[in-house]
Structure 1
Amino acid sequence: MHVNSKKIRWLLAVVLAGMVSGCENSELAPATPADSHSVPTCIDITAEDSTQINMEDIRVEAIATGLEVPWDLEVLDDGRVLVTERKGTIRLIDPETGLRQEPWATIPVLSKGVVGLMGIALSPQFNESGYVYVVGTYDAVGKSSVDSLVYKIKKIIIAPFQPDIQFPVRNRVYRLRDEHGYGRDPTIMIDNLPSHEWYGTSSLAFGPDNMIYITTGDAAVPHLAQDDSSLAGKLLRYREDGGIPDGNPVNNSPVYAKGFRNSQGLDWDSKGNLFATEHGPVGYDELNLLIPGGNYGWPNFIGPNVGAEYHDPILTWFAGIAPSGLAVFDRPGHPWHGDLLIASLKTRQLRRVATYEDTGGNNRICEQVLLSGTYGRLRGVHMGSDGHVYLTTSNRDQRGQPEHMDDRILRLHIP
């Protein structure tokens, strides 16, 4: 949809959009683009399927309570769980003793608006190196009057040629080493990523190629999402050592795909398909299948049927759900294997998105709401190597309604 010329139709669609629920299927594959008006419930499609999961058999366990805006998490092979808190702490949940009061590590971040300490990812060689990567926000200007003056001069003189110099708030990636139960030797590996207190969130994940992928928001300057000289509104790809790998679509640049407003969830299926969630401006949230060099439209287009120059989202939520974390359900032999699990902040849900084959042999999207409202705002979602699904709540982020146990880390036992 062209944002300018079809604004009235877009607003009408937002008002009329309905919510969908239900789902059941096998491995997710690229499908015909869909929107939330037409997506059927997967349970209705496979009502006679003997492999259906009884929702009453899914058990939800709170493995930690009393956290402060947990953002993302990783589950280690030994059962420990590392959780980032927006204020800058990384917490450790021991499988035997629970949440340890002393942080695993503390990172100096600017916790403001929605940003702070955000994504976390384990090195593909974690069992040998112990390396853990996190992304956090910092003040790039400084607090003194001299710092402020230097920044203003740079913004006037350099920004026309290097647009990212204009951002006073930026993100950087730190590497830590897991040693004797704590995160040691924090080292800045990637720096000067555009950020903004409301439109500057970043997620990071290692891909099947052992490269590190990082999402950036448009940092409240939407046109930069289409500007190859800026890292705002992009999906970035780096080597683990912070260098730019061979094979990126833009020469000598970490830019891997562009045209994003605010992507937060990122994961791959077993076929190597890369999926990401994206927040729209007001509604028009998206699920995208990302390819190298792909342009996903923002700010020129949003939603489906954007034309040959841009890539259609797989699924568009017209009314808006504020999709956050995303994880591929990875349990070979299970009927949900390869399906996507998507957390949402606004609608306070965990959704499952899968595909089915219609009568014409085409792959279509279906959707199921697994959790709704019970645990409040949901942000991070992670598939553990133990076969369980892990969630972070986000009820203390000044937009939720926290209960006395919030925020929580939830573990879903899915039969």
Structure 2
Amino acid sequence: MLAAGCSGSGGDAGRTAAPPSSVAPPAASSSAPAAPGAPRVAGVLAEGLRSPWGLAELPGGDLLVSSRDERTVTRVDARTGRKTPLGVVPGVVPGGEGGLLGLAVRDGWVYAYLTSATDNRIVRMRYGGGPGDRLGAPEPVLTGIPKGVIHNGGRIGFGPDGMLYAGTGETGRTGLAQDRGSLGGKILRMTPEGRPAPGNPFPGSVVYSYGHRNVQGLAWDPAGRLWASEFGQDTWDELNLVEPGRNYGWPVVEGRAGRAGYTDPVAQWRTADASPSGIAYARGAVWMAGLRGERLWRIPLSGAERSGEPEAFLTGEYGRLRTVLATAGGTRLWLVTSETDTRGTPGPGDDKILRLEVG
């Protein structure tokens, strides 16, 4: 049972300098949606969060936020910012970039990606959502994801197909990314109970795509396409359009290579400009939170292609940015800062959930 009651990787330590930012040439299209104006910070919803990592929206609009290091889940009222502790998740063993990471909500369950004593795993906990309700005991959904001091992945989400997706890391053991028998360095797709999803590219496996270094963000556009953000090493961070069975190159290639058998990213950045974490889709663009880059990127899209140059907002204003979540209406973003993750410089009120208007 849970007692009543975050910080993730901040970009790789010891990275070297890299070439200037580079993105693929924009695709010509007459159907590109009109780009919204610059996002406006409409206020601070909540503050005083410790090592926040995962963020999920409940039916009705309230939020759940996880603390990587304190192992807690907290409910945040989306109107008032009132924080209600829901409990400490048992079995979480924080350390390095591991701990209580991504969250997702579906059908009365709260799903969590966490680091245990032996592995990374996905569990689910019953939650009624009423006043005074607390999280139920965790039930394993998928176990055996490799763990490490670094590169634990951790983002989870339900796609429009009703399947549960998870981004994992290769834990610093680069060979895991190309090993389709390992769950490390992959994007995984499974039923809500953790079984291989129908239509997966490798029969009997939850592996959906491979050749990833450390997937940190997952989001779907209105056409149901999956987008993922990924940490590079010394040269390029990536935004990828993820398709089943594709090989995204790590550790053979980093960034755009144009090599047969490997899928190039749609956009890439210097590691100092991004170290991308969570992403969200809203208003015709992918929005990407930057840790080391300390900025929010907007990548305008037309279908499966970029329709313009990525733009950066809030550069250095709020420090490291961990998670971004779009509301159901798509005109508001929730943005979580990450200054208390041992790699930031906490200021008054850190960490925060910011309310951004993008309509």
Query: Which TM class, normalised by the smaller chain length?
Result: 0.7 to 0.9
Q: Report what 2:48 is aligned to.
A: 66
In the alignment, the residues of structure 2 paired with residue 391 and residue 275 of structure 1 have an alpha-carbon distance, to the nearest angstrom, of 18
Question: Are the equivalent residues in 1 in contact too, given 2:57–2:105 (CA < 8 A)?
Answer: no
The yes-or-no answer on 1:407 pairing with 2:359 is no
* Counterpart residue type for residue 192 of structure 1: G
In the alignment, the residues of structure 1 paired with residue 59 and residue 181 of structure 2 have an alpha-carbon distance, to the nearest angstrom, of 40
Q: Report what 1:367 is aligned to.
A: 310
1:229 Cα deviation from its structure 2 partner: 1.4
- What's the CA shift string for 1:1-26, capped at 9, x where partnerless? xxxxxxxxxx8xx54415xxxxxxxx
1:189 Cα deviation from its structure 2 partner: 1.4
1:270 Cα deviation from its structure 2 partner: 0.8
* Counterpart residue type for residue 94 of structure 1: D
Q: Report what 2:226 is aligned to.
A: 274
Q: Report what 1:112 is aligned to.
A: 95
In the alignment, the residues of structure 1 paired with residue 49 and residue 355 of structure 2 have an alpha-carbon distance, to the nearest angstrom, of 15
1:316 Cα deviation from its structure 2 partner: 1.3
More helix per residue: 1
1:272 Cα deviation from its structure 2 partner: 1.5
* Counterpart residue type for residue 353 of structure 1: I
In the alignment, the residues of structure 2 paired with residue 69 and residue 214 of structure 1 have an alpha-carbon distance, to the nearest angstrom, of 20
In the alignment, the residues of structure 1 paired with residue 264 and residue 78 of structure 2 have an alpha-carbon distance, to the nearest angstrom, of 42
The yes-or-no answer on 1:289 pairing with 2:235 is no
- What's the CA shift string for 1:149-185, capped at 9, x where partnerless? xxxxxxxxxxxxxxxxxxxxx1111111222332223
Q: Map 1:80-99 onto structure 2 (within 5 A).
A: 80-87=62-69, 88-95=71-78, 97-99=80-82
User: Are residues 131 and 15 of structure 1, via their aligned partners in 2, closer, same or farther at CA, if it must alter by over 3 Å?
Assistant: closer
- What's the CA shift string for 1:365-408, capped at 9, x where partnerless? 42111221111100110001254100111101111110020011
1:97 Cα deviation from its structure 2 partner: 4.7
Identity percentage of aligned residues:
36
1:186 Cα deviation from its structure 2 partner: 2.1
Q: Report what 1:393 is aligned to.
A: 337
1:319 Cα deviation from its structure 2 partner: 4.3
In the alignment, the residues of structure 1 paired with residue 265 and residue 156 of structure 2 have an alpha-carbon distance, to the nearest angstrom, of 20
Q: How many residues are treated as equivalent by the alignment? A: 333
Q: Report the secondary structure of 2:121's partner residue.
A: strand
Q: Report what 1:172 is aligned to.
A: 121
Tell me the TM-score normalised to structure 1 length. 0.75
In the alignment, the residues of structure 1 paired with residue 355 and residue 54 of structure 2 have an alpha-carbon distance, to the nearest angstrom, of 14
* Structure 1: segments with no counterpart, 5+ residues: 1-10, 19-34, 41-48, 141-169, 330-336
User: Are residues 215 and 15 of structure 1, via their aligned partners in 2, closer, same or farther at CA, if it must alter by over 3 Å?
Assistant: closer
Structure possessing the higher radius of gyration over alpha carbons: 1
1:338 Cα deviation from its structure 2 partner: 2.7
Q: Which of 285, 291, 305 is matched with 1:345 structurally? A: 291
Q: Report what 1:194 is aligned to.
A: 146
In the alignment, the residues of structure 2 paired with residue 135 and residue 196 of structure 1 have an alpha-carbon distance, to the nearest angstrom, of 14
Q: Which moved more, 1:225-234 or 1:90-99?
A: 90-99
User: Are residues 238 and 16 of structure 1, via their aligned partners in 2, closer, same or farther at CA, if it must alter by over 3 Å?
Assistant: closer
Aligned-residue RMSD, C-alpha:
2.4
